Chains A and B, each alone.
Chain A
């Protein structure tokens, strides 16, 4: 022990603490102006849809026929009314609930199911890996939009069926990303060292694998959010998602098609919201990626 040079003595009360990985990612993310702007926009939209009953006085499903297709800025109807005389602000807020849920929930489910499968495949390797990966390849072989339409079509329209269809479509890419990340981490010496210290597979995955694959998997899943929201709106647009009179952005785009010449601005509003939300998720995902890039 004597040979080891003692560095300068630290005052007794000082303990050096390091910033953890996730808190430094958050700090870098908050330094990025675009990401912060996206977070603010998304937070406003999400909060507004959650508190929709407090923000609007109208019933989203009931309109007054004499007030049909009022232009934007009409007294009492800030964003006008739709083809059945329903307040657009109310419709957009309540519709956002549906659209966001149909976009976000499938990604969460896919993350849960696909992430589990991918981790198992990557950690177990060999035959287990082959079975899981080849089965996902089968699903992967179909174009995702077509597959979603086919599943939703077969199950029939409705909120739950859209969730099922989108989850099935989103699972394979999540499995792939998780599997490749796990395989990479698994081959590192610290996993070997953990095995050498007598830890079981479950403990090793929980302590040593998850923390190291979470980054890439989260970044990828967040980029799936924008895709899922667009696909959910698309399914509703072609009549396989929400059923009228339930407000939903994709469905609203469809029903307002007729008004595109008389009130183009109103007809475009749901599309604009879909665009803003999807873009924000996409940019936020990019920001997250670069915030995680640095060790």
Chain B
């Protein structure tokens, strides 16, 4: 399997080593054996303190499962998560401490707020659970509302359905920040907003990151947004990391055919730079009972026998850029490798 070598960062804050998760789905027939869905396999990465890691990939590639794994909301089948160098255990106390430090903002701004609680109550909930006194938590909630640009007097006592989508997402951000986390995971957090609001929220995120010394994991299918906000980018395909590197490296010198295709499909607003390379054809193979080999193989124009036989090991292209493709590995035996 691919054992990913760690890259040295200033101070790692959140690390994952070999995270894997398979879900069982029941077969269509009553007596059929349950099938395995490989949501995430052998996922390793290191998030440096104060940096932003972008995770990109198409729908169903395991981005959200990764987020839930990193949040410890679902238990991994294998692998460990480390926060500031310490392995996060399974005990209640350890999980609680972890959950103060790592928070998440979801895509659906309205489903992620309880419709029966006022905005202020929603933000207060986390701190109160962790033992903060109600009056103090209320003060803090108001402070965080102002931080995300919502006037407390105007918004604190309203209900989520009474405010706009952009405002709701800011409330979700305030809710996540209320626990004073060190890492915030954004799972498609701005994807549902329209462009102008999205830009406002992104700028807000940049400001907050600096003010509260946060580290971000930013999951999105919007390549432009990821490039704008991320220091490092991680490309996922069928639950596996296929390319990882500094944002500039990945965007300027994509190495995996899938990354290239993904970047080529990025719409450009300049008519002189139209998408010339053919977009990817077909759908990814079903993650149910995945065959060995590279999952991108069937859609890849460089596919050869070795691609069907085994999943490519990780190849380091430079200190901060690595890829999992037989093409980039001279010893792989791929006819076109270099």
Which residues does A use to contact B, with CB under 8 Å? 1, 3-4, 7, 10, 14-18, 20-21, 188-190, 192-200, 203, 207-208, 211-212, 295
A211, B129: Cβ atoms closer than 8 Å: no
Q: Which residue of A lies closest to B113 (CB)?
A: A190
In the bound complex, how far is the Cα of B161 from the Cα of A3, in angstroms? 24
Residues of chain B at interface, number, CB under 8 A: 45
Which has the most chain B C-beta neighbours within 10 Å: A4, A198, A207? Answer: A198
7 example contacts (A-B, Cβ-Cβ < 8 A) are as follows: A4-B200, A7-B154, A16-B157, A21-B116, A190-B113, A194-B125, A199-B125
Q: B73, B100, B111, B207: which contacts A195 (Cβ < 8 A)?
A: B73
B149, A198: Cβ atoms closer than 8 Å: no
State how many angstroms separate the Cβ of B212 from the closest Cβ of chain A. Answer: 13
* CB proximity to A under 8 Å, residues B178-219: 179, 199-200, 203-204, 207
| B32-40, B77-85, B101-109: which lies at the interface | B101-109
Q: B96, B175, B207: which contacts A1 (Cβ < 8 A)?
A: B207
A4, B162: Cβ atoms closer than 8 Å: no
In the bound complex, how far is the Cα of B71 from the Cα of A195, in angstroms? 10
On whether A197 and B158 interact (CB within 8 A), knowing A189-B112, A212-B114, the answer reads no
A17, B125: Cβ atoms closer than 8 Å: no
**Is B251 at the interface (CB under 8 A from chain A)?**
no
B204, A198: Cβ atoms closer than 8 Å: no
Which residues does B use to contact A, with CB under 8 Å? 68, 71, 73, 95-96, 99-100, 103-104, 106-108, 111-118, 122, 125-126, 129-130, 147, 149, 151, 153-159, 161-162, 172, 175, 179, 199-200, 203-204, 207
B126, A198: Cβ atoms closer than 8 Å: yes
A198, B108: Cβ atoms closer than 8 Å: no
B200, A3: Cβ atoms closer than 8 Å: yes
State how many angstroms separate the Cβ of B120 from the closest Cβ of chain A. Answer: 11
Q: B107, B112, B153: which contacts A190 (Cβ < 8 A)?
A: B112
Which residues of the partner chain A approach B151 to less than 8 Å between Cβ atoms? 7, 10
State how many angstroms separate the Cβ of A283 from the closest Cβ of chain B. Answer: 26
Q: B99, B112, B179, B204: which contacts A4 (Cβ < 8 A)?
A: B204
In the bound complex, how far is the Cα of B151 from the Cα of A53, in angstroms? 59
B125, A207: Cβ atoms closer than 8 Å: yes
A193, B117: Cβ atoms closer than 8 Å: no
B157, A17: Cβ atoms closer than 8 Å: yes
State how many angstroms separate the Cβ of B107 from the closest Cβ of chain A. Answer: 8
Which residues of the partner chain B approach A198 to less than 8 Å between Cβ atoms? 95-96, 99-100, 126, 129-130, 179
Q: Which 5 A-B pairs have the closest CB atoms?
A: A197-B126, A189-B112, A4-B149, A198-B99, A211-B116
Which residues of the partner chain B approach A203 to less than 8 Å between Cβ atoms? 129
A192, B73: Cβ atoms closer than 8 Å: yes
Q: B106, B125, B130: which contacts A189 (Cβ < 8 A)?
A: B106
Q: Which residue of A lies closest to B146 (CB)?
A: A1
On whether A193 and B129 interact (CB within 8 A), knowing A4-B149, A207-B117, A211-B114, the answer reads no
In the bound complex, how far is the Cα of B170 from the Cα of A86, in angstroms? 71
In the bound complex, how far is the Cα of B100 from the Cα of A198, in angstroms? 7
B153, A212: Cβ atoms closer than 8 Å: no
In the bound complex, how far is the Cα of B122 from the Cα of A208, in angstroms? 10
Which residues of the partner chain A approach B104 to less than 8 Å between Cβ atoms? 193, 196
B157, A295: Cβ atoms closer than 8 Å: no
Sample of 11 more A-B contacts, CB < 8 Å, known A17-B157, A208-B114: A15-B153, A16-B153, A21-B115, A189-B107, A193-B104, A196-B71, A197-B103, A198-B129, A200-B129, A211-B114, A212-B116
On whether A196 and B103 interact (CB within 8 A), knowing A18-B158, A189-B112, A212-B114, the answer reads yes
In the bound complex, how far is the Cα of B129 from the Cα of A20, in angstroms? 23
B153, A197: Cβ atoms closer than 8 Å: no
In the bound complex, how far is the Cα of B149 from the Cα of A188, in angstroms? 26
B106, A212: Cβ atoms closer than 8 Å: no
In the bound complex, how far is the Cα of B118 from the Cα of A189, in angstroms? 16
Which residues of the partner chain B approach A20 to less than 8 Å between Cβ atoms? 118, 159
In the bound complex, how far is the Cα of B123 from the Cα of A270, in angstroms? 55
State how many angstroms separate the Cβ of A199 from the closest Cβ of chain B. Answer: 4
Which residues of the partner chain A approach B103 to less than 8 Å between Cβ atoms? 196-197
Which residues of the partner chain A approach B200 to less than 8 Å between Cβ atoms? 3-4
In the bound complex, how far is the Cα of B128 from the Cα of A200, in angstroms? 12
Q: Which residue of A lies closest to B203 (CB)?
A: A3
Q: B126, B158, B207: which contacts A16 (Cβ < 8 A)?
A: B158
State how many angstroms separate the Cβ of B137 from the closest Cβ of chain A. Answer: 12
Which residues of the partner chain A approach B149 to less than 8 Å between Cβ atoms? 1, 4
Which residues of the partner chain A approach B118 to less than 8 Å between Cβ atoms? 18, 20
Which residues of the partner chain B approach A4 to less than 8 Å between Cβ atoms? 149, 200, 204
A196, B207: Cβ atoms closer than 8 Å: no
Q: Which residue of A lies closest to B100 (CB)?
A: A198
In the bound complex, how far is the Cα of B100 from the Cα of A192, in angstroms? 14
In the bound complex, how far is the Cα of B207 from the Cα of A48, in angstroms? 66
Q: B112, B130, B204: which contacts A193 (Cβ < 8 A)?
A: B112
Q: Which residue of B lies closest to A189 (CB)?
A: B112
Q: Which residue of A lies closest to B202 (CB)?
A: A3
In the bound complex, how far is the Cα of B119 from the Cα of A18, in angstroms? 10
On whether A18 and B112 interact (CB within 8 A), knowing A193-B175, A197-B179, the answer reads no
Which residues of the partner chain B approach A190 to less than 8 Å between Cβ atoms? 111-114, 122
